Structure 1
Amino acid sequence: MPQPFDHTPVIPVLTIERVEDAIPLATALIEGGLNALEVTLRTPSALGVIEKIARDLPHALVGAGTVLRTADVTAAKNAGAKFLVSPGLTQSLAAAGIASGLPYLPGAVTPSEVMIAREFGFSFLKFFPAKEYGGVAMLKAWAPIFPGIEFCPTGGVSEANAAEYLALPNVPVVGGTWVANAEAIRSGDWAGIRERALRASKLRPPR
């Protein structure tokens, strides 16, 4: 697993509508023990959120998710993103991700996609949407087929099943929205988010 993520079992996947929520949200998550934060590029405020967290909380590992185009790579890096996550992979996106110099998790959900990502030099991949593509059973089946390849499953991963994913030898970390979902962010439930982050930070795989 890339060095930036080797101390966290969960990466919160965040969809944030208001830039003013960036710091209280990130602070709650960090206080709960989760330092790697994926801000999805799904709202007009996303780049502003990344920029604010990167500037005001430099110790946070804030990254950009839902990276779909090469322009997203450039915009995210300029905003201060420290890692990139995409739901899939294209040749141009692979080139841009590598050129950025940032840790990059491209998505793969079929054996062919895993093999293509491996040919580009990637060994840590996003598996999304995990539930729809076989979840724990699929990743368990892949472990002996793709030695040296690790996955961050996202999509359908919850507090109830995260430990099951983390018990797999090829899953060192999971991504999920349950720690800070859109409603909790909109309502400013920072205390609740902090509590869920504390529980999530204690989900350690039995190695």
Structure 2
Amino acid sequence: MPTVLDQLSAHRLVPVVVIDDSAQAGPLAQALVDGGLPVAEVTFRTAAAADAIRAMADRGDVLVGAGTVLTPAQVDAAVAAGAHYVVSPGTDRAVVERAQEHGVLALPGAVTATEVQAALALGLTTVKFFPAGTSGGAAAIAALAAPFGGVGFVPTGGVGPKNLGEYLALPSVKAVGGSWMVPRDRVAAGDLAGVRDLVAEAVRLASSLRP
């Protein structure tokens, strides 16, 4: 059975979602599925996050993770809601270890050699590269991948259709995260058809960039 990381790598794209009302989660999950990308990283930036994760996870057809996870307590809440993985903007030992205790994938942020080594010391093989756009972009990932040959990266932040190809061209990039596929204002407005179309276009673009 493929691991969560295998599944993320297969999809290559991770929609980063901010949900203000958990009632939006079910329809949004359907839009992701209809767009051909049954994956979501629901950020803990709103009070609706845990309930939104639960609503998506209960469907059984969406690979749901929690984003912007900053504390072990948030890891607990995310996993209790059904999250399959947790993503953090930085590398925090307590957060990573709590995720490991629960048996879920942790993707902590790392943009320097020191941070990558810290993640490796915690037994991880893949990190989130965030914020990608202001941390050197694809060129920086390529430079880090040279000494850290076995490390995978999931760049997020400042990624969009215009530069997606630069990241997906790198063998070390497992998947790319972004919010351009799921704009917060469209989700809030209930424009799920528009979200579905954006997701489908992103999937088509990623497929055309496949090496």
Fold match (TM-score > 0.5): yes
Distance in 1 separating the partners of 2:12 and 2:53? 21
Distance in 2 separating the partners of 1:34 and 1:206? 16
**1:17 alignment partner in structure 2:** 20
**1:39 alignment partner in structure 2:** 42
Alignment of 1:47-196 (within 5 A): 47-55=50-58, 57-196=59-198
Structure 1 contact 36–62 (Cα < 8 Å) conserved: yes
Among residues 2, 9, 26, which one is paired with 1:6 in the alignment? Answer: 9
Question: How many residues in Structure 1 have an aligned counterpart in Structure 2?
Answer: 206
Give the match's secondary structure for 1:13. strand
Distance in 2 separating the partners of 1:151 and 1:107? 9
* 1:182-204, Cα deviation, whole Å (9 max, x unpaired): 11111111111111111212304
Q: Normalising by structure 2, report the TM-score.
A: 0.94
Structure 2 contact 92–108 (Cα < 8 Å) conserved: no
Bigger relative contact order, structure 1 or 2 (CA pairs below 8 A, ≥6 apart): 1
Structure 1 contact 50–79 (Cα < 8 Å) conserved: yes
Structure 1 contact 11–38 (Cα < 8 Å) conserved: yes
Residue 73 of structure 1 deviates from its aligned partner by 0.6
Structure 1 contact 9–200 (Cα < 8 Å) conserved: no
Gaps of 5+ in 2: none
Distance in 1 separating the partners of 2:161 and 2:102? 33
Gaps of 5+ in 1: none
Distance in 1 separating the partners of 2:7 and 2:99? 16
Once superposed, what is the RMSD of the aligned Cα atoms?
1.3
Residue 26 (structure 2) pairs with residue 26 (structure 1)? no
